[in-house]
């Protein structure tokens, strides 16, 4: 029972962390700090990796498999000599982690969109390739 409570708490924290990332990361100050410390290309590469990771279907497939396993687990409650309510409480942490996994792609997509908006606010075109240079003023001159 205690391990189930700890697992549920960790699952809720995982879901909360992802929701926080989805809503607040990166703030404009954080983005500007990353950009001044690591450079324009590094921050842009980070955004492009997030875009690429958002397109990955593996996370959604694993989450779908996890949901299927949860359904089978609840359906087999009579074979486990438990009531279905007890089994639902047992699988609650797994279901919460599955929800977090399902939301990962859209979270990464939203973070990348926020970073594109910050680039647009500075007058840059986030879809333009600046080549191998550092993307300095000459690269974005009109």
Cα→Cα distances 78→25, 81, 120, Å = 44, 5, 57
pLDDT at 101: 85
Q: Please tell me the distance from the alpha carbon of residue 122 to that of residue 86, in angstroms, as a whole number.
A: 54
Q: Please tell me the distance from the alpha carbon of residue 74 to that of residue 2, in angstroms, as a whole number.
A: 20
pLDDT at 142: 44
Predicted model pTM: 0.75
pLDDT at 135: 53
Peptide bond into 26 cis (omega under 30): yes
Q: Please tell me the distance from the alpha carbon of residue 87 to that of residue 133, in angstroms, as a whole number.
A: 58
Determine contact, residues 98/66, Cβ cutoff 8 Å: yes
Q: Where are the domains of the chain?
A: 2-125
Q: Along the chain (142 residues), what's the average pLDDT of each consecutive run of 10 residues?
A: 78 90 92 90 90 87 86 81 79 84 90 92 79 54 46
Tokens of 98: 């599955």
pLDDT at 74: 81
pLDDT at 90: 81
């Amino acid at each position: 029972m205690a391990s189930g409570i700890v697992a549920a708490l960790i699952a809720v924290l995982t879901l909360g962390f992802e929701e926080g990332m989805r809503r607040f990361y990166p703030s404009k100050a954080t983005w500007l700090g990353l950009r001044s410390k690591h450079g324009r290309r590094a921050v842009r590469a980070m955004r492009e990796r997030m875009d690429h990771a958002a397109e990955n279907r593996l996370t959604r497939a694993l989450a779908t498999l996890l949901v299927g396993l949860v359904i089978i687990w609840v359906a087999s409650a009579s074979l486990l000599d438990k009531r279905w309510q007890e089994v639902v409480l047992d699988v609650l942490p797994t279901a919460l982690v599955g929800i977090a996994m399902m939301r990962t792609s859209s979270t990464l997509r939203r973070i990348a969109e926020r970073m594109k908006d910050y680039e647009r606010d500075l007058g840059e075109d986030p879809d333009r390739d600046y080549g191998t240079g550092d993307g300095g003023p000459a690269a974005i001159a009109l």
